[in-house]
Every structure is written in structure tokens, then in C-alpha cells.
A and B are shown apart, each in its own frame.
Chain A
Amino acid sequence: MGGIPTIYEFLAYLNFLRGTPAAILVLLTASLILVLPDWRWLLLALILQYLVVGLLFADVLPPHLAFMKVLVGAFICLILYITARQVNFGRLPEDVTEEEVGQLEEERLVQIGPYSLPIELLFRVFLALIVILTIWAVSQSTGFLLTEVPEHVNLAILSLTGMGLVTFSLTGEPLKAGMGLLTFMTGFELFYHAIEHSIAMLVVLSIADLIIALSIAYLMQARHSFLAFLD
């Protein structure tokens, strides 16, 4: 009674999420990363994604190794969160003048009933729906079934790699593209660790994920520094 629950107890608590619900949640979080413009929501979606993917990793890896992947994901989110805070979550600096704001391209809006929505957001929602439909269709087709993994993990792999690929292809903005890359990598690792149970590969891929996150953080600083704004 009392004390910190073990990994196995955690997994038992979250049993209701395991299997297909986890795969669908992952599809949802990856879609949110593609669609959402606000960095704070993006980071929340990413941490949620790493937590849920941990449950899927537990289906292909021993639970303690799956927990390690969740920890790596948490560190990645921490790195990105700290950097995002340093650059004011990608928003304009508070002391910027109206004249300086005037240099920036205005966001194009479209009126839908009483709401004004950015055109880019609508485009991304539309694209996300198409990708979701494609992923669903592909996951149901036997031709694209990855025989080495359970069916729900197959859906999660397709969701993460597909959404990740579309996310990083659509933008050059370091945080968004970086999250796309990390989502793609997570999907691939889910597949790769199911077929290759090497600890060395698990460690080195986790190190690679962390270094990619550091690199993205560096690029975020460069892209959103005050000097970059003046440029």
C-alpha cells in the first residue's frame, strides 16, 4: 500500500487505453500537430503523443524499455518548451512598434458565418482529414499490413509516419517542421523496435532523437530571435 506505482501497475491502470484506443489517440495527436498554429497547444499535443505512444511501445518492447522511450519524449518536450518560452512562443516581441508590425505579411482570413478563420488553418484541417482517410483506408488494406506488428500498432505507425511526413513537408518553420520530424521518427521507431530488439539501437536512436530536438531548439532560436524579426 502506498509508494510509487511500478511500471506494470501504471500499465494496469491504463489498460482501458491500450490497443486500438491508443492508436486512435495517436492519430488524433499527430493530426493536431499538423493543424494547430499555437505553439503551446502543439507542445501539449506532442507530450500527450509521447505518453500514448509509450503504451504502444509496451506492446512491442519490454515495459521498462517502453518507459525509457516515454522519458526521452518528455525530455524532448522539455527542451522544446524551454526554447519556445525563450522566443515568446513564436509571437512578436511585446515591445515591437506598429511600424515594425506593418512590415509583416498579414494573415489571410476567410469568413465562415460569424467566424473569421485563417485560410491556412482551414487548409491544414482539410489536409488532415484527407490524410486521416488515407491512413484509415491503408490500414484496412491487407496489402499494407505490417505483418511483424499487431494490427493497432500498424495503424499507429501509419498515422505517425504519414502525419509526420505531411507536417514537415508543409513548413520550414523549425518548431512545426521539427515536431513533424519527431512524429515521423516515433512512428518509424515503433516499427523498427518491433522487428529489431537491439538495446544498442534503442539507445542510439534515443540519443539521435534528443540531438534532433536540440538542433530544432537551436534553429528555433535563430528563426525567432529579435534580429531575425528585423530581417
Chain B
Amino acid sequence: MTAPSILLLIPIGAATIVYLLRRRQTLAVIIGFLAVLTMALFTGTRRPGGVPVSSVGESILNLRWEFFGQPLILNDEIQATLILVYLGVGFLFILTLPFPQDTIFIPATLVVLASMTAALLAQTFVFGSVLLLIAAAVLAILIQGERPGSTLASVRQLSLAVLAVPFLLIAGWMIDTVQAQFLSSIIFLLFGAIVILMVAFPFQLWVSSTVVESRPLVPAVTYGLIALLVTVFLLNVLIANPVVFGNSQFLTMLRVSGAATLIAASLFLLTAKSIGRLLGYLLLLDIGATVIALGLGGRVALDAVMALIVLRILGLILAGVGFGLIRDQVASSLSGDNQLDRCQGLAWRKPLGLALFIYGGLSLAGAPLTPGFAGRWALIINSQSPPGLSMVILVISVIVGVVGLLRFLAKTLSKKDTGSEVEISPGSNASRIVASGLLFLGILLAFFPQLILSLSRMLANPF
């Protein structure tokens, strides 16, 4: 057995077992958690530089595996990221005990994880790109869950992935055949692939639909942990092609796309009519900031992008859990659309859920006194001096994000109740304790951001 094959077989095997046992939630969580923990341990048995930690590791873990002549190698750049993502997924699995998700959540996440791991282990990025497409196809199932009705978000997610892959494959072919005369085409193709995969402008429209239509913890997987793996995949591609990553036209295009994402998200945010959409647009603010960070280029970009995405994962978990707690109070239909007008008095009915949602949302917007602020601050101080237009837009977008959330908060504080359409569900003690713990963790990390920034630097350092 080789390390790469183990990292692919464990999640697929566990996903099969969990799917068969999906009605037994606790058992499914235990198996899912053990699977990702084992994957983290296997990945961790390898020291940077390619030396296994022990002789046992050396005999068990051959770090190279070939699939039809395509090498899959566990190397330095991705080791820390994989461990973080595996542990993060394990944490989300445990969260499904107090905050139940669809029964397909754990098996689908494990299959996506296997495919994304393979994409990162692949040594040629054209091969990795197709594995990315396979992950996206399973991600569409994860987004849909077991909800009958609209499939728009899932279909669009799948469409975007299908659209991105040709960009990557043709760029890869041009690079492999050293067609230097096509540099501008390569730049255009890679830019196209990046904005599609990072769902930045002009492909940002479906983020809010995904948040509205999926279960509350799904965005933390899709736009948090899996987005981190996708970003690392793209960074690997860019670092292997310094002609592109150092090209000023390419970087300017990224910054413009990021700024346009921020502007679009800000405009939508001020007119959002449902909680799901509000969260979706806050997430878009963070995506816009990440694309701007990537557009800075060089070492600065790596540090800032990693910091922003790690903090985004935290923000999405906080806001997602909060969203899950308040969603049943305002849900108007099976499609999960929540009208803000139904939120009056919500603050008095679900204070903890609302606090988590607001705090997570503020973190995604990058507001001060939240964990997300550290990412925005790192981005601003690392940008060129004097700050460009994109930085001005970034600062304004933070303010708009805060205003949008305060507008929502004001509605929830209003004591006038809209009627008794929805019964107040008390919620379990376990969910209250876990939610309080998460809120405390969020506040703690806001005041000690170096904890999370040093983690993100650890992820960026191997590049």
C-alpha cells in the first residue's frame, strides 16, 4: 500500500459504510470522524522533505502511487493543508450530532475529499483538473442533500465546474507543449479557470443560491474547506508557472474581478430579502477579498489568501450553525427561502442562534473585533502603498457588510411579532452548549488572531 492510495481508499470505503448505515447517525459520525482522523495521521507521518517519521512509516508508506502512468505524490506543499482540511472535516462531522444535517452529508463529503485529495496529489495539473471535476460533480449532490424541489444551485455548481475544466486542460496543454507564443491565451485561460473555480465576478451569481438551497453546514464544506483545497491546487499551478503569476496584466485582471465581486456583493447585500441570501452575499464579500489578495501576486498573495480562507472557514461554521438554529423559525417553504420580514422578534426567540449568525456574518464581512478582521487587515497592510482602488472598495465593502447585518439585526430586535406561523422550538441542551462554545471560540480568536494567522502562514510557507 502507498500513502496516496490509502488517502483515496479510506474515505471511499468509509463513505460506502456510512451510506449503508446512514440512518444510524451516531455510528455514521463515528466512522466518518475516524476515517478523516486516520487520513490526517497518515498524512502527518511524513516529515517535510519526503522522509517518513518512523521505520514503520517507511515500510508502509510509499509516498508515490501511479494511476495509468500518472504519478500521485504526497509532497511538502500540500501536507499541512491536507491535515488541516481532514481535521476540519472531522470537526464538522462531530457538529452534525447536535446540529443534524442530511444523511448524505458525511458520505458525500468523504467522496469529495477523496477526489480533491487525488487532485492535489496529481503531479500534472491537467490530470488534477479532471479529478477536480469529479469532486465538483459529487459536490452538486452534497449541495442538494435530500431536499426535494429546486435543483438550480446544484445544477449551476456542476455547470461552472464543467466550464472551468476545458480552460485548465487547454492551458495545461499549451504549457506542456511550451507554446510561449500563446502566453496571452494561457493567461486568459488560467484567469477564466480561477474566477470560475473561486466563483468570483462574473460567475458569482450562484453563491447565494447555494447557501439558500443547501443545509447550514454545507457552505462551510463547499466554500470553506473544499475551497481551501481548490485554492491550493490553483496556487500550485500558478507557482509552477511564474511567467503567469508574475504577469502584471494577469494580476490586474484578478484584482478587477475581485473588486467587481465586492461591488456586486455590496449592492445585493443592501437589498437582500432573505437570511440565506444575506449570508450568501457576505460570503461573496469574503470571496472578493480573496481574489483581490491573489491579485497581489508573489509571497504577499500566498500569505493573505491562506489567512482569508482559513478565517472564512471559521466564519462559515459560526454563521452556518447560527443559520441552522434560526432557519426553522423563518422558513417559509420546503425550498428554504427565508423572508426578512418574518424575522421580527427573532432576537428574543433565538438569541444564541442569532448571535452566532451575526458574529459569523460580521467575520465574513471582515468587521473589526471579529476573527475575519485579521484577514482583511493582513491584506490591507500587505498591499502596495499608496493603496489602490481595489483596497478602497475593500474597506467600503466591510462597512456595507456591517450595515447590511445591522439592518437585519434591527428587524430581529423589533418586538412586533408577525403572527404565529411558526412554533418556537426549544432546541437541545447539547446544541446550546456547542453553540455557546463556538461563539466563545470565535471571540477568543478575534482577540488572539495570531493563533490563526500563524496556522495560515504554516500552510503558505511550503510554497
The residues of A with any CB-CB pair to B shorter than 8 Å are 168-169, 172, 174, 177-178, 181, 184-185, 188, 192, 195-196, 198-201, 203-205, 207-208, 211-212, 214-216, 218-219, 222-223, 225-228, 230-231
Report if B334 contacts A (CB, 8 A): yes
Complex interface: chain A residues within 8 A of B155 (CB): 168, 172, 174, 177-178, 219
**Do B149 and A228 have beta carbons less than 8 Å apart?**
yes
Complex interface: chain B residues within 8 A of A168 (CB): 155, 159, 162
B303 to chain A, nearest CB (A): 33
Closest residue to A216 on the B side, CB-wise?
B158
Complex interface: chain B residues within 8 A of A212 (CB): 133, 137, 158, 162
**Do B140 and A215 have beta carbons less than 8 Å apart?**
yes
**Do B137 and A200 have beta carbons less than 8 Å apart?**
no
A188–B163 alpha-carbon span in the complex (Å): 10
Given the contacts A200-B69, A200-B70, A208 and B148 also touching, CB distance less than 8 Å: no
A221 to chain B, nearest CB (A): 9
Q: Is the interface of A mostly helix, strand, loop or mixed?
A: helix
Pick from A195, A198, A204, A219 the residue with the most CB of B within 10 Å: A204
Complex interface: chain B residues within 8 A of A185 (CB): 162
Closest residue to A172 on the B side, CB-wise?
B152
A201–B169 alpha-carbon span in the complex (Å): 10
A229 to chain B, nearest CB (A): 8
**Do A200 and B127 have beta carbons less than 8 Å apart?**
yes
**Do A219 and B133 have beta carbons less than 8 Å apart?**
no
Complex interface: chain A residues within 8 A of B127 (CB): 200-201, 204
Complex interface: chain A residues within 8 A of B149 (CB): 222-223, 227-228, 231
Question: Quick one: which of B137, B141, B154, B159 contacts A208, CB cutoff 8 A?
Answer: B137
CB<8 Å pairs between A and B, sample of 7: A172-B155, A192-B170, A200-B69, A200-B70, A208-B133, A222-B148, A223-B149
A178–B70 alpha-carbon span in the complex (Å): 29
Task: Classify chain B: how many residues form its interface, as a range.
Answer: 35 or more
**Do A195 and B173 have beta carbons less than 8 Å apart?**
yes
Question: Quick one: which of B67, B158, B335 contacts A215, CB cutoff 8 A?
Answer: B158
Chain B 167-199 against A: per-residue CB contact (8 Å), 1 yes, 0 no?
A: 001100100000000000000000000000000
**Do A205 and B130 have beta carbons less than 8 Å apart?**
yes
Complex interface: chain A residues within 8 A of B162 (CB): 168, 181, 184-185, 212
Closest residue to A161 on the B side, CB-wise?
B166
A149–B153 alpha-carbon span in the complex (Å): 36
Given the contacts A177-B159, A181-B162, A231-B333, A203 and B148 also touching, CB distance less than 8 Å: no
B307 to chain A, nearest CB (A): 32
Given the contacts A168-B159, A219-B155, A225 and B148 also touching, CB distance less than 8 Å: yes
B window 117-150: CB within 8 A of A:
126-127, 130-131, 133-134, 137-138, 140-141, 144, 146-150
A117–B25 alpha-carbon span in the complex (Å): 51
Given the contacts A222-B148, A227-B148, A208 and B173 also touching, CB distance less than 8 Å: no
**Do A218 and B131 have beta carbons less than 8 Å apart?**
no
8 further A-B pairs in the complex, CB-CB below 8 A; given A201-B126, A203-B68: A168-B162, A172-B152, A181-B159, A200-B69, A204-B67, A208-B133, A219-B151, A231-B149
Chain B 55-99 against A: per-residue CB contact (8 Å), 1 yes, 0 no?
A: 000000000000111100000000000000000000000000000
Report if B432 contacts A (CB, 8 A): no
B267 to chain A, nearest CB (A): 23
Complex interface: chain B residues within 8 A of A222 (CB): 144, 146-149, 151, 154
Complex interface: chain B residues within 8 A of A216 (CB): 158
**Do A181 and B134 have beta carbons less than 8 Å apart?**
no
Pick from B131, B155, B158, B159 the residue with the most CB of A within 10 Å: B155
**Do A223 and B151 have beta carbons less than 8 Å apart?**
yes
**Do A200 and B68 have beta carbons less than 8 Å apart?**
yes
B455 to chain A, nearest CB (A): 33
**Do A231 and B141 have beta carbons less than 8 Å apart?**
no
Report if B273 contacts A (CB, 8 A): no
Report if B156 contacts A (CB, 8 A): yes
Complex interface: chain A residues within 8 A of B137 (CB): 208, 211-212, 214-215
A192–B137 alpha-carbon span in the complex (Å): 20
Q: Which 3 A-B pairs have the closest CB atoms?
A: A200-B68, A228-B148, A227-B148
A91–B150 alpha-carbon span in the complex (Å): 16
B156 to chain A, nearest CB (A): 7
**Do B151 and A208 have beta carbons less than 8 Å apart?**
no
Complex interface: chain B residues within 8 A of A211 (CB): 134, 137-138
**Do A231 and B148 have beta carbons less than 8 Å apart?**
yes
A207–B417 alpha-carbon span in the complex (Å): 53
**Do A199 and B68 have beta carbons less than 8 Å apart?**
yes
A90 to chain B, nearest CB (A): 13
A184–B133 alpha-carbon span in the complex (Å): 14
A200–B126 alpha-carbon span in the complex (Å): 11
Closest residue to A221 on the B side, CB-wise?
B148
Given the contacts A215-B137, A215-B141, A231-B333, A199 and B156 also touching, CB distance less than 8 Å: no
**Do B334 and A215 have beta carbons less than 8 Å apart?**
no
A101 to chain B, nearest CB (A): 18
A225–B148 alpha-carbon span in the complex (Å): 6
Pick from B137, B141, B152 the residue with the most CB of A within 10 Å: B137
**Do A231 and B70 have beta carbons less than 8 Å apart?**
no
A219–B154 alpha-carbon span in the complex (Å): 8
B199 to chain A, nearest CB (A): 17
Pick from B68, B130, B141 the residue with the most CB of A within 10 Å: B130
**Do A200 and B67 have beta carbons less than 8 Å apart?**
yes
B165 to chain A, nearest CB (A): 8
Question: Quick one: which of B151, B163, B169, B335 contacts A172, CB cutoff 8 A?
Answer: B151
B36 to chain A, nearest CB (A): 21
Complex interface: chain A residues within 8 A of B141 (CB): 215, 218-219
B window 269-318: CB within 8 A of A:
none
Complex interface: chain A residues within 8 A of B151 (CB): 172, 174, 219, 222-223
